[in-house]
Each structure stands twice: as C-alpha cells, then as structure tokens.
Amino acid sequence: MEVVKEKARIREIVEEARAAGRIVGLVPTMGYFHEGHLELMRRARAECDLVVVSLFVNPTQFGPGEDLQAYPRDFDRDRGMAESVGLDYIFNPEPSEMYPQGFSTHVEVEGLSDILCGAIRPGHFRGVATVVAKLFNIVPAQRVYFGQKDAQQLAVIKRMAADLDFALEVVAVPTVREEDGLAMSSRNIYLTGRDRDDALVLARALRTAAGMIEAGERDVSEISEAMQGVFDALPSVNLEYIAICDTIYLQPLEELHGEVLIAVAARVGKARLIDNMVFEVE
C-alpha cells in the first residue's frame, strides 16, 4: 500500500487504472479508523479492482469552537489498519494541497444542508460537499463508499453527485455498532466514565422506535413521544433532535410509509453524537 500526498499523483494512478479497464473505489474518511471505516474499505475491496481511501481532516467542515484541533489522529495506526484490509492507496493530502491560497469556490446543497445537523452546525455540509466534490475530481472513482451512520451526509452527497453529474455510484454501507449497540465513531474517544453508558440512550431510543414499528405503530407523534421519553429519563444527555423523515429530502413525515429515516442527535459529555435507523414500512 502506498501513501500519496499529491493530488496530481493520485489522479494519474487512478486514470491509468481506469484506462486499463479497472474499477476504482474511493472511501473518503477523516481517519482514526474503527470497524465502521474498515467495513467501508472491505466492501470497496470486495467490489473494486483498485481501492483508494482518502484520509483528510477537512478544516472547512468544522465550525468555530468545534473540535478541529482536538479531532483524534493516529496516522501510523490508520495506515496499518488500511493495509490489513488490503487497500492499494491512502490519499493523505496536506490542507494546503486541498485549499491553496486563493481558494474560493464552494458547493452548497440547498435545502438539505441547513436542517437537522446543518441547523446546529452552520456551514458544516457546505464544507463536506465541497471537499467531497474535490475528492470525486481528484480520485475519479466509479464507486464511492459512505456510511449510513451519517444519514444526512449521505443524502447531501447523493444529491450533489446527481445534481453535478458525477458519473459514479454512491454506495451506502450499514452502520457498524459496538456490541452494546453504540454506533462506532471516531468521536467516541471523547466518552469517558459515565458518558459511555449515557451514550447508549441514542441506540435505545432508536430501538424503542423499531419495536413500535415492528408492532404495527404508524403514528409518528406516538413514536416521537416514546423516543422523547427515553431521553427524558436521562437528563444528563442533551437531546438536539429526533427526526422522523424521508431518506432523500429529509422532510418530516406525517405518516409512516416507504423508506423512513429515524435520526437522533445529542450531546453526551464532551461528545456530540448522532445515530439513525432506516425502516422499510409497508
């Protein structure tokens, strides 16, 4: 596995592979790998001839006062993990390679970017859409892999790829969880002591919703209230939102039908956590 720092070099590698008829997969990440990242990489490895993982802690998707400086980093460990799943290249640019002096173009996915997490993190999805559009150009893969864990990010990327005519397939990979149900995240490292137990409330609320839907409940407000009750039982956790919406426009649903996204966000100690489940409702 080779580590590539320059845009021109990784593009050349990928273009050569494509010219030779190979299928290229891209897995965009911010590093500090866990099983969720590895699952994306394994899936890409199984489906593509050449796999590039990008590792870039993108400064433009962090707001003022967010954890850009503190964001966990361990490149040597990440390199070993990526190598263990048989990846071909890590693209690991410096910020100046991605954002040279004079950089001033941004991608704004209207409508999807200022709701839910976007309402709480203004500018976040503009930063995400911009860096991902750049990565799609720098690493011209036919398949790109994203986690269902970040459901709004997935919706934003799918919209952007369609609207800007990127000729690639966005592959969604199911959320990987710890044994006790906590969705894996690089930010789980912020959870110490009691916060680690408290963090289970997100998955617990989602399981409550799942149980109700399974039992035939179709009333959105009933489900929402039951989930709210799960959070109310744990006042140390700061709930940001419970959303019951469609998976494409992320608009609130009045009645459950088709593909339904139930998403939650909450602050637990120093960590801001998100989680979701997708249901196919008859």
Which residues carry out catalysis? 37
Smallest gap from residue 183 Cβ to ligand AMP (A) = 5
Gap between the Cα atoms of 54 and 146, Å rounded: 12
Considering only residues 92, 113, 186, 276, which one is a binding residue for ligand AMP as defined by CB under 6 A? 186
Residue 269 is a binding residue for ligand AMP (CB under 6 A) = no
Smallest gap from residue 60 Cβ to ligand AMP (A) = 13
Using CB under 6 A, which residues numbered 119 to 148 contact ligand AMP?
A: 146-147
Residue 275 is a binding residue for ligand AMP (CB under 6 A) = no
Gap between the Cα atoms of 197 and 273, Å rounded: 13
Q: % helix / strand / coil in the chain, to the nearest 5?
A: 40, 25, 35
Residue 199 is a binding residue for ligand AMP (CB under 6 A) = no
In single-letter form, the type of residue at position 222 comes to E
In this structure, what token pair is assigned to residue 150? Answer: 């970040």
Gap between the Cα atoms of 250 and 261, Å rounded: 8
Residue 184 is a binding residue for ligand AMP (CB under 6 A) = yes
Residue 93 is a binding residue for ligand AMP (CB under 6 A) = no
Residues constituting the chain: 282
Using CB under 6 A, which residues numbered 12 to 51 contact ligand AMP?
A: 29-30, 36-37, 39-40
Smallest gap from residue 142 Cβ to ligand AMP (A) = 17
Smallest gap from residue 7 Cβ to ligand AMP (A) = 19
Give the interface segment with ligand AMP, choosing from 78-86, 114-122, 183-191, 230-238 (CB under 6 A). 183-191
Gap between the Cα atoms of 64 and 35, Å rounded: 29
Residue 264 is a binding residue for ligand AMP (CB under 6 A) = no
Residue 88 is a binding residue for ligand AMP (CB under 6 A) = no
Residue 202 is a binding residue for ligand AMP (CB under 6 A) = no
What are residue 261's phi and psi, to 5 degrees?
-105, 125
Gap between the Cα atoms of 84 and 89, Å rounded: 12
Buried b (16+ CB within 10 A) or exposed e, 152-170: bbbbbbbbbbeeeebeeeb
In single-letter form, the type of residue at position 226 comes to A
Residue 183 is a binding residue for ligand AMP (CB under 6 A) = yes
Q: Return the SS3 of 119.
A: helix
Smallest gap from residue 145 Cβ to ligand AMP (A) = 7
Smallest gap from residue 234 Cβ to ligand AMP (A) = 21
Residue 185 is a binding residue for ligand AMP (CB under 6 A) = yes
DSSP for 254-275 reads SB--EEEEEEEEEEETTEEEEE
In this structure, what token pair is assigned to residue 127? Answer: 């930063």
Using CB under 6 A, which residues numbered 142 to 181 contact ligand AMP?
A: 146-147, 149-150, 173, 175-176
Residues in the site for ligand AMP, rule: CB under 6 A? 29-30, 36-37, 39-40, 146-147, 149-150, 173, 175-176, 183-186
